[in-house]
């Protein structure tokens, strides 16, 4: 039967080549966009300062502020790429220590540069027998920040963050009622720079879930995702305690 015919090697090679070229084009496009926008802001504002030496003090301060924000965006983007590079080379190192999970969540929600800063759309539910946990606080914070950022951006409704514990482990669950992830793309979402077709109109780098994957692996954790298009997404992270 024709349906059982195997593809010829040259056909398979062509598909792999086309797929690789598409990935490269997507990476170049993302890099170009994420660097060009802030650099354009810096360039135009520096030109404004150069051409208007007598500029009003408040306008000068705002101009410098915009340049600082743009530089921060470039720095954050490059740091994310470096993080993923270390992760891919298995060079990420964890530094476990005991910390208060509740305090960590408060610190995450208080980040001024986060998309969800001071939003009333984030609900937090801590169901813990003990708020002390032993792991790498910085890596865990990167995971939760990235997951909250995705849920917040891709949903206009409440985002629910639930943290529970069990002997020797911590569970973090983030749920939203947003766009959802198409079933055929679930296996691709942890690929750096990959962005689902149904959310490409929303600004983003496509690096968040790649960072989540790298950090979770370093913490020996597991990630589970349930998602339905136009209904929402639930992400669950389970990490073991390092016993400190």
The token duo for 88 is: 């891919």
Listed ranges 11-15, 174-178, 198-202; the one with the highest mean pLDDT: 174-178
Q: What's the pLDDT score for residue 203?
A: 80
pLDDT digits (tens, 9 = 90+) for 201-231: 888 888 999 999 999 999 999 999 999 999 9
19 compared with 146, residue with greater pLDDT? 146
Contacts of 21 (CB under 8 A, 6+ apart): none
pLDDT higher than threshold 70 for residue 80: yes
pLDDT higher than threshold 70 for residue 136: yes
CB 176 within 8 A of CB 151: yes
Q: What's the pLDDT score for residue 133?
A: 97
How many residues in the chain?
Answer: 244
CB 180 within 8 A of CB 197: no
Q: What's the pLDDT score for residue 164?
A: 98
Q: What's the pLDDT score for residue 243?
A: 85
Mean per-residue pLDDT for 65-87?
Answer: 91
186 vs 104: CA distance, rounded Å: 29
Q: What's the pLDDT score for residue 16?
A: 34
When the pLDDT of each residue in the chain is averaged and rounded to a whole number, the result is 87
pLDDT higher than threshold 70 for residue 25: no
Q: What's the pLDDT score for residue 7?
A: 39
Q: What's the pLDDT score for residue 73?
A: 86
Q: What's the pLDDT score for residue 189?
A: 94
5 vs 198: CA distance, rounded Å: 33
87 vs 143: CA distance, rounded Å: 13
Quickly count helices (H) and strands (E) in the chain: 5, 7
Q: What's the pLDDT score for residue 4?
A: 36
pLDDT higher than threshold 90 for residue 241: yes
Q: What's the pLDDT score for residue 200?
A: 82
């Amino acid at each position: 039967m024709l349906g059982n015919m195997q593809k010829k090697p040259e056909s398979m090679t062509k598909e792999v080549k086309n797929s690789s070229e598409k990935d490269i084009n997507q990476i170049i496009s993302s890099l170009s966009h994420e660097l060009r926008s802030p650099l354009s802001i810096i360039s135009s504002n520096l030109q404004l300062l150069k051409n208007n030496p007598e500029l009003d003090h408040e306008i000068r301060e705002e101009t410098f502020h915009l340049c600082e924000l743009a530089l921060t965006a470039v720095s954050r983007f490059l740091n994310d790429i470096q993080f993923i590079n270390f992760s891919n080379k298995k060079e990420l190192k964890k530094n476990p220590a005991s910390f208060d999970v509740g305090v960590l969540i408060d610190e995450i929600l208080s980040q001024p540069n986060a998309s969800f800063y001071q939003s009333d759309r984030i609900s937090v539910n801590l169901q813990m027998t003990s708020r002390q946990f032993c792991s790498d606080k910085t890596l865990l914070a990167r995971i939760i920040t990235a997951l909250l950022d995705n849920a917040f951006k891709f949903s206009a409704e409440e985002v629910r963050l639930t943290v529970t514990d069990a002997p020797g482990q911590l569970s973090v669950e983030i749920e939203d009622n947003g766009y959802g992830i198409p079933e055929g793309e679930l296996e691709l979402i942890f690929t750096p720079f990959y962005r689902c077709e149904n959310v490409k109109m929303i600004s983003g780098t496509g690096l968040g879930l790649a960072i989540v994957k790298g950090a979770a692996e370093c913490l020996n954790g597991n990630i589970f995702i349930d998602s339905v298009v136009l209904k929402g997404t639930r992400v669950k992270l389970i990490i073991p305690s390092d016993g400190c």
